[in-house]
Amino acid sequence: MDHSPQSDTFDAQGFRRALGAFVTGVTVVTTIQADGTPRGFTANSFTSVSLDPPLVLVCIAKSASSYGVFSQTSHFAVSVLAEDQKDVSGVFASKSTDKFAQVAWQARATGAPIMHGAAAHFDCATHEVVDAGDHIILLGRVLDFAHTGVSPLGYCRGAYVNFSLSQDAIAATAASEHAHVGAILEHTDGIVLLETKDGLRLPRGARLESADDPKSLRGVLARLGLVAHLDFIFAVFESNPRRDQDHDHAHDEDRDGVRIFYRGRVVAQRGMSAPELHIVPLSQVPWDALSDPAERSMLERYVKERHEDAFGVYVGDSEAGTVQTLALA
Ligand SMILES: Cc1cc2nc3c(=O)[nH]c(=O)nc-3n(C[C@H](O)[C@H](O)[C@H](O)COP(=O)(O)O)c2cc1C
């Protein structure tokens, strides 16, 4: 079958989703314009190219408003964002006219801005600009660089990934008898919520495995007929239901303890839909019906990041050069 982009059968959306499976970091690429003002945008197309000479590259959409500036610049810098810098990524992925007023930065070797708190940075002289379809490839010769021990921000399938959360989860589970494992699951039509006698809750269990164990998250999902991929850990926190909830009949699994929430996707549904299953569009979450305050605030954060397009799959959409919303496979 002809899968070339020119053919009618080329699945452009599927192509974007396939590219989204490649885990990357998140960078901010910056330069100083001819008038002396800084310019920058968020990019996950950063790649190391050569050790000798030291070369890196980043791809810029021709539709980006800063394309003209970067296609002409003699110098640029790449800041590799730390995992607490999702907001910085959001600022530089936006069309805001005062991006640099919203973040802390400094100039180093070339004068191009470096983000304060970045996990690493590379200060470059432009080595070559290569035309590449709806993007250009900006190759930089590294003149100066630095790195810190802070954990970098990850990006995969249109969502940010906090790698250190997995370590936190392992440590916390080992230290806690009462782990509680839940999931924010996206379904084609929205988020999976469950009707309980206390209101709507996220699917959760006393532990993660196994599907044969009705008290585990996998067991709960199996009973609901949901086949889910749990992609990454979204949150790890200590809970105190007596403090978090003002009713005194907290569930057994809501005892004090560590809570671990995955984010993932429903990839198939088996059998009849269970009566307690509610698939709620992200824009219509009934916040007042969510009985658990900790789950509510975590879900609020998820929806906010999703709305900010933080969870879009950036793969260089030729029309907008911006972000595609996450669609389910
Ligand atoms: C995680 C993430 C990665 C991105 N990667 C790139 C990229 O590699 N190249 C690109 O041209 N745009 C990328 N974008 C989109 C730009 O950041 C976005 O289009 C921005 O508005 C461009 O800024 P400008 O309009 O000021 O040029 C990415 C966005 C996000 C959220």
Following DSSP, what letter does each residue of 290-329 receive, concatenated? B--HHHHHHHHHHHHHHHTTTTSB-S--TTTSS-BPP---
Indicate whether residue 221 lines ligand 1 (CB < 6 A): no
Q: Which of 118, 133, 156 is the last residue of a domain?
A: 156
Question: Is there a single domain that holds both residue 32 and residue 142?
Answer: yes
Question: Is pLDDT above 80 for 304?
Answer: no
Amino acid at the residue 268: A
230, 183 Cβ separation under 8 angstroms? yes
- Note down the domain range covering 209: 159-307
| Tally of CB atoms within 10 A around 170 | 13
Which pTM does this prediction carry? 0.77
Question: Is there a single domain that holds both residue 235 and residue 122?
Answer: no
Instruction: Give the CATH number, domain containing residue 132.
Output: 2.30.110.10
Q: Does residue 125 form part of some domain?
A: yes
Question: Is there a single domain that holds both residue 63 and residue 121?
Answer: yes
Question: Is there a single domain that holds both residue 146 and residue 75?
Answer: yes
228, 268 Cβ separation under 8 angstroms? no
For residues 260 and 181, what is the distance between their CA atoms, to the nearest angstrom? 5
Question: Is there a single domain that holds both residue 148 and residue 35?
Answer: yes
Question: Is pLDDT above 70 for 69?
Answer: yes
Question: Is there a single domain that holds both residue 33 and residue 149?
Answer: yes
CA proximity to 280, closest of 158, 185, 199, 160? 185
SS3 274: coil
Indicate whether residue 155 lines ligand 1 (CB < 6 A): yes
Q: Does residue 314 form part of some domain?
A: no
Structure tokens at 137: 């490839």
Question: Is there a single domain that holds both residue 144 and residue 255?
Answer: no
Per-residue pLDDT, 16:
83
Question: Is there a single domain that holds both residue 146 and residue 183?
Answer: no
| Tally of CB atoms within 10 A around 94 | 15
Question: Is there a single domain that holds both residue 132 and residue 28?
Answer: yes
SS3 285: coil
Question: Is pLDDT above 60 for 151?
Answer: yes
Question: Is there a single domain that holds both residue 166 and residue 292?
Answer: yes
Listed in sequence order, the residues at least 6 apart from 35 whose beta carbon sits closer than 8 Å to its beta carbon are none
CA 259 to chain centre: 20
Question: Is there a single domain that holds both residue 247 and residue 163?
Answer: yes
SS3 25: strand
From the CA of 61, give the closest atom in ligand 1: 11
Per-residue pLDDT, 322:
34
SS3 223: helix
Query: Which string of b and e fits 98-134 if b means at least 16 CB within 10 Å?
Result: ebbeebebeeebbebbbbebbbbbbbbebbeeeeeee
For residues 193 and 291, what is the distance between their CA atoms, to the nearest angstrom? 11
Listed in sequence order, the residues at least 6 apart from 204 whose beta carbon sits closer than 8 Å to its beta carbon are 180, 181, 182, 183, 217, 220, 253
Pocket test for ligand 1, best of 22, 30, 42 (most atoms within 8 A of CB): 42
164, 235 Cβ separation under 8 angstroms? no
Question: Is pLDDT above 80 for 291?
Answer: yes
Ligand 1, atom 13, residue with closest C-alpha? 43
Q: Does residue 319 form part of some domain?
A: no
For residues 173 and 239, what is the distance between their CA atoms, to the nearest angstrom? 13
Which residues of 133-215 form beta strands (DSSP E)? 135-147, 153-156, 159-162, 180-187, 190-196, 199-201, 204-205
Question: Is pLDDT above 90 for 78?
Answer: yes
Give residue for tokens 């806690």.
176
Residue spans of alpha helices (H) in 176-290: 217-224, 241-244
Q: How remote is the CA of residue 318 from the centroid of ligand 1, in Å?
A: 12
Ligand 1, atom 23, residue with closest C-alpha? 41
Structure tokens at 132: 């590449």
Indicate whether residue 138 lines ligand 1 (CB < 6 A): no
Instruction: Give the CATH number, domain containing residue 255.
Output: 3.90.79.10
Per-residue pLDDT, 242:
54
CA 320 to chain centre: 20
**pLDDT tens readout for residues 21-46:** 899 999 999 999 999 999 999 999 99
Question: Is there a single domain that holds both residue 136 and residue 183?
Answer: no
Which of these ranges, 35-44, 238-247, 317-326, has the smallest mean pLDDT?
317-326
Top-confidence residue, 126 or 237: 126
Pocket test for ligand 1, best of 314, 315, 317, 319 (most atoms within 8 A of CB): 314
Beta bridge partners of 201: 194
SS3 211: coil
Q: Does residue 110 form part of some domain?
A: yes
Residues above pLDDT 70, as percent of the chain: 83
Indicate whether residue 42 lines ligand 1 (CB < 6 A): yes
